[in-house]
Amino acid sequence: MEKGYLTLETGEVFEGVLIGADKDSLGEVVFNTSMTGYQEIITDPSYAGQIITFCYPIIGNYGVNALDDESISPALAGVVIGDLCETPSHYQSINKFSDKLKQAGVPGIAGVDTRRLVKTIRSQGTVKGFLGKEKDHCLSESGDNQASMWVDQVSTKKIQYFKNNGPHVVLMDFGYKKSILHALLEENCAVTIVPYTTTLEKIKSLNPDGILLSNGPGDPMQLQAWFPEIKKITQAFPTLGICLGHQLIALAYGAKTSKLAYGHRGGNHPVKELMTGKVKITAQNHGYVVLDESIDQKIFNVTYRNINDRSIEGLQHKLYPIQTVQFHPEAHPGPSDTEYILKDFVSQIASLGENIYAVK
């Protein structure tokens, strides 16, 4: 294996061996604390343009299977790991982790002191990094890929329909995870996936029972031009927003967001359900949060809060059937504490649909 380097904009350099695709990469360096689920993580569209550092010390030990990809092709900029396992052991494994990266065109670096790297990110905040063969790379000459409109790159360009016998959900694709679609299909929903630019008039023509705004990458303020349309859509149909979808709904109703120092990314984030006082362990992947003081309390109730930093994790509109969560209730790669949220949403739109039909 060839020696490689991850150079941070802070000037720090991390040495390792190159794996995956043979190319250089520039991206926002973030870390994920999950102990499992590396296949789902590297194929999550929300990581578009980012270089993921895995905190768990060994990656690749159970290989890669044919079931757990969250998108057709990874959109992330690169991968940083400690120990690489090239002899996976699992009955479903069809590929090695390093080969998966290579086939997907994603560069990576192994043998890195990821503990030191994560401590750097936690102290400095999320930083830009260059992954490649050069040790003394000047990041100022590389441009800034975080200015890219990543949602536009990962959202579907055409409408896709999945037939089923239950309520009809329009899934607005800002970079949706496949697991969200599968969770809806398992609840017997018919699902229409539409581009994030789809208008209210077009959605009305699809005659849905409910709307789901998906997760996705980047700064939600890059989608500011679509806030008025999002607001109209949520006022016309029962709506659930997940992750980026949560942020977009809040922004559409006048709230503000800010960037976290190093984000929430992992499968062990404790969230308190305020109505019951119960704590749920959740999967999260986001770099922005809705600001507490920006929420109009005449419009929204806060439904969930992060135990660690008290940030807003969920909202419910006081008039319209609109709810949002910052975490991922579809629970892939896990945990599954909050999968009831999707089930409750489906039950809600099914009930509302029945009431409408009864009135008619």
Q: What is the pLDDT of residue 245?
A: 98
- Contact between 43 and 27 under an 8 Å Cβ cutoff? The reply is no
Residues noted as catalytic: 243, 328, 330
- Contact between 252 and 18 under an 8 Å Cβ cutoff? The reply is no
Q: What is the pLDDT of residue 299?
A: 97
pTM of the model: 0.95
Q: What is the pLDDT of residue 179?
A: 97
- In the chain the domains, ranked by start, together with CATH numbers, are 3-137 (3.50.30.20), 151-359 (3.40.50.880)
Q: How far apart are CA 175 and CA 219, in angstroms?
A: 13
Kind of pairing, strands 78-80 and 107-110? parallel
Q: How far apart are CA 184 and CA 127, in angstroms?
A: 36
Could you tell me the mean pLDDT of each successive run of 10 residues in the chain, 360 residues long?
94 96 96 96 97 97 97 96 97 97 97 97 93 81 67 96 97 97 97 98 98 98 98 98 98 98 96 98 97 97 98 98 97 89 96 52
DSSP H or E run through 108: strand 107-110
The candidate with the shortest Cα–Cα distance to 242, out of 159, 314, 162, is 314
- Which residues have CB under 8 Å from 29's CB, separation 6+? 6, 8, 50, 51, 53, 80, 117, 121, 126, 127, 128, 129
Largest CA distance in the chain: 70
- Which residues have CB under 8 Å from 241's CB, separation 6+? 212, 213, 247, 248, 249, 322, 323, 324, 325
- Which residues have CB under 8 Å from 254's CB, separation 6+? 294, 296
Q: What is the DSSP string of 227-238?
A: HHHHHHHHHHS-
Count the Cβ atoms, other than its own, within 10 Å of residue 275. 10
The CA dihedral of 20, 24, 29, 31, to the nearest 10 degrees, is 10
Cα within 13 Å of Cα(283), Cβ side = 25
The candidate with the shortest Cα–Cα distance to 268, out of 342, 328, 216, 180, is 328
Q: How far apart are CA 85 and CA 157, in angstroms?
A: 37
- Contact between 41 and 177 under an 8 Å Cβ cutoff? The reply is no
Q: What is the pLDDT of residue 148?
A: 74
Q: What is the pLDDT of residue 358?
A: 36
Q: How far apart are CA 14 and CA 248, in angstroms?
A: 36
Query: Encoding tokens for residue 337?
Result: 């504490």
